[in-house]
Amino acid sequence: MQSQYFDKLRELLSLEYNCSPEDFLRSENVLTVSALHEGRRQYIPDRYFFHMVTLGGNTVVTANECMQDFLADYVKKVKGHWLFAMTELVPIERELNKHGFTLTQAHHMFLPDRHTEPTASYPVRWFRDGEIHQFYGDERFPNAICPHFLPERPDRIVVCAYDGDRIMGMAGCSEDAPHWQQIGIDVIPEYRSKGIGTYLVTLLKNKIAEQGDIPFYGTAAANLRSQNIALNCGFNPAWVEIGAQPVQ
């Protein structure tokens, strides 16, 4: 199933990295000047100061004009995904610091590669669009939904598992780009290790696919619990990216 989304992934990333979809199939790394294009994921309102991504082969880097001279030589001498090694990120961090920026954490992103069905069963309720607003501000759900309504990436679907009237866990998706639904999951601490996270993410992943959209999942490199949920739900690693943000 991941292969059916691969071309669409390259199309999406080409908008965000100001390149062509074919640039992700090259053997050599690619460097571009960052730009804003319609249809991208909108995590920040401005163009990227620095961002790079790999699908496992080469690396594509987009950056502000002031970073181009440094990066032009740097991306040539380091092969492919090795640009994400800590030893290679340190010099990039030093250069970013000169301009008042620092690296963000690396995001490990997943796409479905097979259909899976839930292996557990819990009572659930579904919520869509405006029905989700009632949960904003609830500190129990920092990953399943946005902290408040964001028109540039609105929360679209939420599914909650219940123990009586009490929510045990919530999975939600935000439409980060047209028809690209990113899934997040939160399970209340006393209900963890019962398969609730896997159950809810599987339900939501299948619902998104049934309506013709693309489910995807992201997590930090060291969040093994979250990565295992992704794998158990039929996701596989698809791309890794890292960016920069202003020094606070």
- The pLDDT tens digits of the residues spanning 177-197 come to 999 999 999 999 999 999 999
Statement: residue 91 has pLDDT above 70:
yes
In which band, very low, low, confident or very high, does the pLDDT at 2 lie, cut at 50, 70 and 90? low
pLDDT digits (tens, 9 = 90+) for 102-153: 999 999 999 999 899 998 899 999 999 999 999 999 999 999 999 999 999 9
Q: Is the pLDDT of residue 97 over 60?
A: yes
Pick one of 3.90.870.10, 3.40.630.30, 3.40.190.10, 3.40.50.1820 as the CATH number of 117-232: 3.40.630.30
Q: What's the average model confidence in pLDDT over 10-16?
A: 98
- Position 36 scores a pLDDT of 97
The pLDDT > 90 percentage for the chain reads 96
pLDDT exceeds cutoff 80 at 1? no
- Vertex 107 angle, CA 41 and 152, to 5°: 20
Mean pLDDT taken over the chain: 96
Q: Rounded to whole angstroms, how far apart are CA atoms 238 and 2?
A: 8
Show me where the domains of the chain are located: 2-109, 117-232
| pLDDT for position 131 | 98
pLDDT cut 70: percent of the chain above it: 99
In this predicted structure, what is the pLDDT of residue 120? 86
Query: What is the average per-residue pLDDT within 51-66?
Result: 98
